[in-house]
Amino acid sequence: MGAGADVVPEAGAGADPRGADVGGVLTVASGAERPKPLHDPDPYSTPPYGEPGPWAPAPPVQHPAATPAHGTVAAGLPASGVAAVPSQAPPAGAVPDPALADAPPPVLPARHPAGSAVAAVPSQAPPPGAVPDPALAEAPPPAPPTAPVHGATAAAVAPAPAGSPQAPVPPGPGGDGQGGGTDPWGRYDPWAVSAAAPLQHNGAAAPTREQRRKRAGKAIAGGALLIALVSGGIGGALGTYLERNGGVGTVELPQAGKEAAERAPDSVAGIAARALPSVVTLHVSGSDSAGTGTGFVLDDRGHILTNDHVVEPAGSGGDITVTFNSGDTAEATVVGRDSGYDLAVVKVKGVSGLTPLPLGNSDNVRVGDPVVAIGAPFDLAGTVTSGIISAKERPITAGGEEGDGSDVSYVDALQTDAPINPGNSGGPLLDARGRAIGINSAIRSADSGGAESDGGQSGSIGLGFAIPINQGKRVAEELINTGKATHPVIGITLDMNYSGDGARVGAKGSDGGPAVTTGGPGAEAGIRPGDVITAVDGQRVHSGEELIVKTRAHRPGDRLELTLERDGKETKVSLVLGSSDGG
């Protein structure tokens, strides 16, 4: 094959009807210079540069076809998978070379995977004027190639009918001439619609049903979130607009429906509803002053209990007007008063159908019990406040404006945090059952050093004091029955300037007489001037005021046990309280 560059395969020579690789008969032009190829032979048989010579055919239309799976061999093809290379037709006027008539045409290698099958591609017809080879005149031309179904290997190439002008079809790349499929690139048409071509897999894993379900769930969740965000934005914008512009129509505010007027009996409202008809407001005027206070009805005969400092401005010729919760008014007169207890009783005239306020027992009261106060602070009649009992037996003194101490009241009081203000004086302090357990009398103000009657202008700071109802009942009964109240006495005069602990008996009486009344309860018990009384019935006393308060908490005739200190020694004495008329 050393002279392979000087020979040209004759068209149609050596073509096997089955597409086998058969060498063609080569001829050499006589008397003429053999044409030289325009370029070096292409070992890969790539169209249009597959063979030398100026008559190299144009690139044929190519169609893609599926390649058999790796390791398989198409039907009718050898394992090598290399097809025969087509022979080129001789140029016009060329004379075949007898010496090379039996030489097979050169076969050029082609790059195709083993086992692939590509059908032979028909060769071009000889140019006009070419002389056919007599030895091959009878050889039948190869049959035109038939394109196999996409994805299947060609079985064999059928021979072309006799007289066909087509040259033998060279096997495409990857064929060996022993039968194979059509070259997938030999008839490629970039504009053709490959309707029969199956879909190709891109290599990605196909999603499972669970993955598709999860993707669908995520898509639904995302859509719902998007809808919620959009809806929220629209709603917020609409709400802001309506809020700034007052809505889209008339405004109608929500309101609770009508409810029953009844309240629980032990509630503040229930207590107030029962007690208010028995509470009155007193307007007092005299020649020098006037004032306002509160009182409550004791019986159906028109007796009303209040504080002494409330009716004091009226004196002996002033006016007292009583206003009931219903708004009715009536004139009242003083029945009796006692400055030492700060209590007074007045009586209205010409009034019937009064509702007395039930009385409780102050000895049953315990610290922390709920209480309700009713009064007319600053002439605001029917004011109701509530709180608890803060302390019991709180010794307080009130009054003292006279200077001689005749108007000082000594009260073993109930302390409460229920607000009590000027005008509440004489009003009732009620327990949880609506019963009077005290008479509101004094408050401790922030700008005063002690308790004072609430007839002043100081306001409540949560320190209110009430006379226990047990003491008030006894004094009221005495005032109604006799017009005056009696005070329990020990029959001694105290040194009110003593600054030590306890109450010291003075050296002499206020009128210059003896400090221990001759024949009185103290003298009979053996009390002497200079003795210091430190306890009453076992309860410690720290001053003369406390001793008076503890004594007045009892009735005349009650027995007391006193603890004394004399010459550094402690002793106890027992006595029966005497009685004196109050002033």
What's the rounded mean pLDDT across residues 259-278?
A: 94
Residue 291 and residue 379 in one domain: yes
Which range of 22-31, 51-60, 174-183, 358-367 scores highest in mean pLDDT? It is 358-367
What's the rounded mean pLDDT across residues 364-377?
A: 96
Instruction: Return d(Cα 117, Cα 175) in angstroms, integer.
Output: 5
Q: For residue 578, is pLDDT > 90? A: yes
- CA gyration radius for the chain? 67
pLDDT of residue 207: 78
pLDDT of residue 242: 73
Instruction: Return d(Cα 530, Cα 466) in angstroms, integer.
Output: 33
Torsion sign, CA atoms 43, 49, 53, 57: positive
In angstroms, the Cα distances linking 452 to 174, 259, 286, 405, 466 are 126, 43, 22, 14, 12
Q: What are phi and psi of 383, to 5 degrees?
A: -80, 130
Instruction: Return d(Cα 281, Cα 296) in angstroms, integer.
Output: 9
Residue 439 and residue 491 in one domain: no
Half-sphere exposure of 186 (CA within 13 A, CB side): 26
Residue 421 and residue 381 in one domain: yes
Q: Model confidence over 96-140: pLDDT tens digits?
A: 554 444 555 555 444 444 444 444 444 445 555 555 554 444 545
Find residue 330's DSSP bridge partners.
Answer: 322
Q: For residue 345, is pLDDT > 80? A: yes
List the structure tokens of 460. Answer: 């409540």
pTM, two decimal places = 0.57
pLDDT of residue 115: 44
Q: Which amino acid is at 256?
A: A
Instruction: Return d(Cα 438, Cα 394) in angstroms, integer.
Output: 13
Residue 500 and residue 414 in one domain: no
Q: What does 15-80 look like in DSSP terms, one character per residue?
A: --TT----PPPEE--SSSPPPPPSS---TT--TTSSS-STTPPPPPPB---PPPPTT---TT--TT
Which range of 15-24, 253-262, 401-410 scores highest in mean pLDDT? It is 253-262
Instruction: Return d(Cα 181, Cα 170) in angstroms, integer.
Output: 12
Instruction: Return d(Cα 468, Cα 488) in angstroms, integer.
Output: 16
Nearest of 557, 565, 568 to residue 527 by alpha carbon: 565
Q: For residue 398, is pLDDT > 70? A: yes
List the structure tokens of 317. Answer: 């010729």
Residue 378 and residue 311 in one domain: yes
Q: Which helix (H) or strand (E) holds 213?
A: helix 209-245
Q: For residue 281, is pLDDT > 70? A: yes
Instruction: Return d(Cα 490, Cα 558) in angstroms, integer.
Output: 11
Residues whose CB is less than 8 angstroms from the CB of residue 192 and which lie 6 or more positions away in sequence, other chains included: 63
Q: How many domains does the chain have?
A: 2
Percentage of the chain lying above the pLDDT 90 cut? 43
Residue 29: inside a domain: no
What's the rounded mean pLDDT across residues 525-553?
A: 92
List the structure tokens of 328. Answer: 């009715």
pLDDT of residue 147: 46
Residue 263: inside a domain: no
Instruction: Return d(Cα 502, Cα 494) in angstroms, integer.
Output: 11
Residue 301: inside a domain: yes
Residue 330 and residue 464 in one domain: yes
Residue 360: inside a domain: yes
What's the rounded mean pLDDT across residues 73-83?
A: 48
Residue 115: inside a domain: no
Q: Model confidence over 317-335: pLDDT tens digits?
A: 789 999 999 999 999 999 9
Residue 469 and residue 508 in one domain: no
pLDDT of residue 558: 93
Note whether 572 and 533 are within 8 A (CB).
no
Residue 98: inside a domain: no
CATH code: domain of residue 318? 2.40.10.120
Q: For residue 161, is pLDDT > 60? A: no
Q: For residue 11, is pLDDT > 70? A: no
pLDDT of residue 194: 56
Q: For residue 260, is pLDDT > 60? A: yes
Nearest of 158, 71, 58 to residue 115 by alpha carbon: 71
Residues whose CB is less than 8 angstroms from the CB of residue 313 and which lie 6 or more positions away in sequence, other chains included: 284, 285, 286, 288, 289, 290, 291
Residue 411 and residue 275 in one domain: yes
Nearest of 460, 378, 369 to residue 419 by alpha carbon: 460
Percentage of the chain lying above the pLDDT 70 cut? 60
Q: Model confidence over 450-475: pLDDT tens digits?
A: 555 555 556 778 899 999 999 999 99
CATH code: domain of residue 528? 2.30.42.10
- If you average pLDDT over every residue of the chain, what do you get? 76
DSSP character at residue 334: E
> Helix, strand or coil for residue 234?
helix
Residue 507 and residue 465 in one domain: no
Instruction: Return d(Cα 145, Cα 167) in angstroms, integer.
Output: 12
Q: Domain containing 530: what range?
A: 486-581
Residue 291 and residue 341 in one domain: yes
Instruction: Return d(Cα 315, Cα 340) in angstroms, integer.
Output: 16
Q: What does 472-537 look like in DSSP terms, one character per residue?
A: HHHHHHHHHHHSS-EEEE-SB-B-TT--SSSEEBPSS-TTSS-SB-TTSHHHHHT--TT-EEEEET
Q: For residue 529, is pLDDT > 70? A: yes
Residue 228: inside a domain: no
Q: Which residue has the higher pLDDT, 516 or 14?
A: 516
Which of 56-60, 177-181, 364-368, 466-470 is least confident?
177-181
Residue 368 and residue 492 in one domain: no
Pairing status of strand 8-9 against strand 26-27? antiparallel
List the structure tokens of 244. Answer: 């700034």
Residue 454: inside a domain: no
Residue 437 and residue 555 in one domain: no
Residues whose CB is less than 8 angstroms from the CB of residue 18 and which lie 6 or more positions away in sequence, other chains included: 156, 157, 159, 178, 179
Residue positions annotated with a catalytic role: 309, 342, 425
